[in-house]
């Protein structure tokens, strides 16, 4: 699994002129899933996301987690995160998991993240043409890959 976490002042997902999810301060997370991913990848990511200390404390130092700030989260499926661009200029998404694997894992990721956060997590709609808007706060953007844990 690959994710891009963006610390946001606000974010929203709109589908066909209807706002599906909207948050204030928190994270917008883009999630890419490959066929080799499992619930172990979900567990590792959820623990990292919940514990990540990238929100400012009273001294303006990035020292607080989303749990400590009461922030919200939106998770958007993003198969293009699995792009292979090794050959040529047209990316291949051969590594992206097919729907029968990715949809259950996406739903499980959202469910476990919501449980860990202690409140609902906003979503997009799997496979939909989504318009994602955000104000990246900082900017703070962090990429994580469960196959390359740095």
* Three-state DSSP state, 30: strand
79 is catalytic: yes
141 is catalytic: no
Backbone angles phi, psi at 94, to 5 degrees: -60, -30
Residue 69, token pair as written in the block: 């700030």
72-77 and 26-32: which strand pairing?
parallel
Q: Are 84 and 90 in contact (CB under 8 A)?
A: no
| Catalytic residue from among 14, 38, 55, 78 | 78
| Catalytic residue from among 38, 80, 115, 141 | 80
| Catalytic residue from among 55, 79, 109, 123 | 79
69 is catalytic: no
Residue 62, token pair as written in the block: 């990035």
Kindly list the catalytic residues: 78-80
């Amino acid at each position: 699994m690959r994710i891009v976490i963006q610390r946001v002042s606000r974010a929203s997902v709109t589908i066909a002129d209807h706002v599906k999810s909207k948050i204030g301060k928190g994270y917008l997370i883009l999630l890419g899933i490959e066929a080799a991913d499992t619930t172990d990848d979900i567990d590792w990511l959820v623990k990292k996301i919940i514990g990540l200390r990238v929100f400012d404390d009273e001294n303006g130092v990035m020292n607080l987690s989303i749990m400590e700030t009461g922030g919200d989260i939106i998770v958007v499926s993003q198969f293009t995160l699995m792009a292979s661009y090794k050959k040529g200029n047209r990316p291949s998404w051969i590594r992206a998991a097919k729907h029968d694997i990715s949809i259950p894992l996406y739903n499980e990721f959202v469910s476990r993240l919501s449980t860990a956060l202690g409140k609902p997590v906003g979503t997009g709609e799997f496979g939909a043409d989504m318009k994602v808007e955000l104000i990246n706060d900082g900017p703070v953007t962090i990429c994580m890959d469960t196959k390359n844990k740095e």
